[in-house]
Amino acid sequence: MFAGLLNKGFRGSLVLLITVFIVCFLINYLSPIGLEQDHYPNLFYNYFAQKISSKLAINAFNFLFIGLGVLLVSLIAVNQEIVDKQNYFPVFLYLLLCVVGVYPFHITSQVFTNVFVLFSIYRLLDTYRKDAVLKQIFEAAFWLSVSAFITISSIISFPLFFIILLILRPFSWREWVIALIGFFMPMFIYECMAYLSNFNQGYLFDAIELYFKSMKVPSFSEYYLPISLSLFLLLIISFFHSLVNGFGNTVKKQRTKSILLWVLFFSTFGFFSGGANSSNIILTYAFPLSFFIGDFLFALKQIKITNTILAILIFCVLVVFLGQFGVI
């Protein structure tokens, strides 16, 4: 079934990925019901997203950024040699987790944020064992800072940025200064525009304060419980599989797996953020989950077992889609 295609790299997986992408777009566009909604007061959502009312435009924007995220996951997986070049399980899983997490009636800010975070991580990974990387570090810091204006929960990635830098590169004060300039540049641009237009000055600092004050246990929808429990169990199994078999046969793979562990740890803050729900949590964890579970599925020798696991995940996604159509 799917496992045979995802074991064959880009050429084997392309048709499957495009088919799943188009089918899920049509399902979301035709869905008469939305199960969950992003309730957190992000600037992007409150000011920009509400101005778009067309359902076709909403789903087009959502799936455009899902597609960009899938492309970046593919580049991280293959170009940065994190997994085997024939392993497209992480790409497929990231796509699956994103399509089940988007809301069909509103732009989903976390999907947008994921693209900026993935691009930032991709640029940082590209600096490994290279000289003259100030441009890549500035770009990574700049776009990660921009993501905080879309979804404030991405500020949890700010300290993660410097941890990744320490894992990948020896300390250099020039690189850290450039990174800090990259972080402050979007804030400076926004504050200048806010001052000139007399609009919402000091937003980011107020939003950060509110973010940490509003942490609480997230709400869970019964429709998302099957996929949430399945992902949790698969993550535990994948983690122990990595511990037993090692984090990779190269230094870069080992360091990247340690980076993914740090991403998992810092995503916990997003788990408890105010307004978090099942779909938002799945989107927040989509990047590290897709790599850990995808690497585990690729390593399985029994294709039947791999296909069974994929079938369970697809069934869990169908439960959400059936809920959106009011069937269950």
Give dist(CA 168, CA 82) in Å, integer.
Answer: 13
Q: Is 246 helix (H, G, I), strand (E, B) or coil?
A: coil
Host domain of residue 113: 2-324
C-alpha distances (whole Å) from 14 to each of 52, 156, 299 are 31, 33, 20
Q: Residue 277 pairs with which residues in a beta bridge?
A: 219
Work out the burial of residue 229: count CB atoms within 10 Å of its CB; fewer than 13 is exposed, 13-18 middle, 19 or more buried: exposed
**pLDDT recorded at residue 133:** 87
How many Å apart are CA 237 and CA 218, to the nearest integer? 24
**pLDDT value, residue 290:** 92
- Are the beta carbons of 182 and 139 closer than 8 angstroms? yes
Which three-class secondary structure state does DSSP give residue 277?
A: strand
Residues linked to residue 282 through DSSP beta bridges, in sequence order: none
Instruction: Give the integer Cα–Cα distance in Å for 143 and 123.
Output: 10
User: Quick one: pLDDT at residue 169?
Assistant: 87
Q: Is 62 exposed, middle or buried (0-12, 13-18, 19+ CB in 10 A)?
A: buried
Tell me, what's the pLDDT at 234? 92
What pLDDT, on a 0 to 100 scale, did the predictor assign at position 275? 63
CA-nearest of 153, 163, 140, 141 to 112 is 153
- Continuous segment of H or E residues that includes residue 238: helix 225-245
Q: Domain count of the chain?
A: 1
Would you say 178 and 141 are in contact if contact means Cβ atoms under 8 Å apart? yes
Closest CA to 232 of 288, 156, 304, 154: 288
pLDDT at 44: 62
> Could you tell me if 252 and 128 are in contact, meaning their C-beta atoms sit under 8 angstroms apart?
yes
Q: Are 190 and 142 in contact (CB under 8 A)?
A: no
Question: Could you list the pLDDT tens digit for every one of the 328 residues in the chain?
Answer: 676 777 777 777 888 889 989 999 999 888 887 777 665 556 666 666 667 778 888 889 899 999 999 999 998 888 777 777 788 889 999 999 999 988 888 888 888 889 999 999 999 988 888 888 899 999 999 999 988 888 887 888 888 899 999 988 888 889 899 999 999 998 888 888 878 877 777 777 877 777 777 777 777 778 888 898 999 999 999 888 877 777 766 777 788 888 888 888 888 777 666 667 788 888 888 999 998 898 888 888 788 888 899 999 999 999 888 888 877 7
So what's the pLDDT on residue 273?
67
